[in-house]
Amino acid sequence: MNVELIAHTRIANNFMENTIAGMSEGQMVAFTAIRTCYSANKPTEILKKEGEKYVWKEATDGEGGTDADRLFRHIVRSGHTSTLEHITFTFAIEGISRACLAQLTRHRVGFSYSVQSQRYVKFGSDDKSGGFDHVMPQSVKKNPVAVAAYAFAMGVIQQTYNELREEGVPAEDARMVLPNAATCNLVMTANLRALLDFYSKRRKGRGAQWEIADLAEKLREEVIAVEPWTERFFKEA
Q: How many residues does the chain have?
A: 237
Roughly how many angstroms between the first and final C-alpha of the chain, as a whole number? 23
> CA of 134: how far to CAs of 100, 105, 118, in Å?
12, 19, 14
Q: 36: number of CA atoms within 13 Å, CB side?
A: 15
Looking at CATH, the fold of the domain delimited by 2-90+186-236 is given as Gyrase A; domain 2 (3.30.1360)
Q: Report how far residue 177's alpha carbon sits from residue 174's, in angstroms, rounded to the nearest whole number.
A: 6
The angle at the Cα of 117, spanning 214 to 148, to the nearest 5 degrees, equals 55
pLDDT tens per residue across all 237 residues of the chain: 999 999 999 988 878 777 788 889 999 999 999 999 999 999 999 988 888 889 888 888 888 888 899 999 998 998 889 999 999 999 999 999 999 999 999 999 999 999 999 999 999 999 999 999 999 999 999 999 999 999 999 999 999 999 999 999 999 999 999 999 999 999 999 999 999 999 999 999 999 999 999 999 999 999 999 999 999 999 987
Would you say 133 and 183 are in contact if contact means Cβ atoms under 8 Å apart? yes
Q: How far is CA 165 from the centre of its chain?
A: 34
Active site residues: 202
Domain boundaries defined on the chain: 2-90+186-236, 122-181
pTM of structure = 0.91
Q: What are phi and psi of 208, to 5 degrees?
A: -75, 150
Q: Report how far residue 165's alpha carbon sits from residue 202's, in angstroms, rounded to the nearest whole number.
A: 37
Other Cβ atoms within 10 Å of 16 Cβ, number: 10
Would you say 229 and 223 are in contact if contact means Cβ atoms under 8 Å apart? no
Q: Region of 83 please: left (phi>0), alpha (psi -120 to 50) or beta.
A: alpha
